[in-house]
Amino acid sequence: MNKWFLRIASLLVVIGLLVGCGADEQGQTNSQEKENTEAESSEEQSEETVRITISKGKGSEYINEEEVEVEEGATLMEVMEKNFEVKTDFDGGFITSIDGVAPKDGEQKSWMFTVNGEMPTVGAKEYKLSPGDKVTFDLQAWE
């Protein structure tokens, strides 16, 4: 139990530090280009979707970005499992792999996520998405 508590506490500290450091330039450029393109699409469509960005190393390596539809009351984990190849730990509480990208054995890295630039106080399994949310998953060291 102490081991899980330490892991969770470490993850929260790292996420807090990342959020405090601001967004990466590459992610901002990609997001701005996509926002300009999407501004031309109907407002109704953007109200029913969320943008999910996947990266590594605090945004230093861009992996994927998709605009996906969400149903009312959908959790982040449900949306991830529906739209990406996601693997979780034994109880489904932590995402361990997204689209085949996972930490190597013994590596102290994990998937961290923010929603609209802020770290949620609950996990992806409990976080209910709202249309227009911008979710970022980043594989990063938690040491």
Query: Each residue of 46-100: pLDDT tens digit?
Result: 458 899 898 888 877 888 888 988 888 898 988 888 998 888 887 767 888 888 8
Closest C-alpha to 106, from 141, 138, 137: 141
Q: What's CA 64's distance to the chain center, in Å?
A: 11
Q: What percent of the chain has pLDDT over 70?
A: 66
CATH of the domain at 107: 2.170.130.30
| 49-56 and 134-141 beta bridge pairing | parallel
Residue 105 has pLDDT above 80, yes or no: yes
Split into its structural domains, the chain has a count of: 1
* Mean pLDDT over each residue of the chain, to the nearest integer: 76
DSSP 25: H
Alpha helix locations (H) across the chain? Answer: 2-21, 25-39, 43-47, 76-83
pLDDT of residue 46: 45
Q: What's CA 85's distance to the chain center, in Å?
A: 14
CB atoms within 10 A of CB 35: 12
Range of the domain at 49: 2-141
* pTM, two decimal places: 0.62
Q: What percent of the chain has pLDDT over 90?
A: 10
Q: Report the C-alpha dihedral over residues 28, 40, 46, 51, rounded to 10 degrees.
A: -30
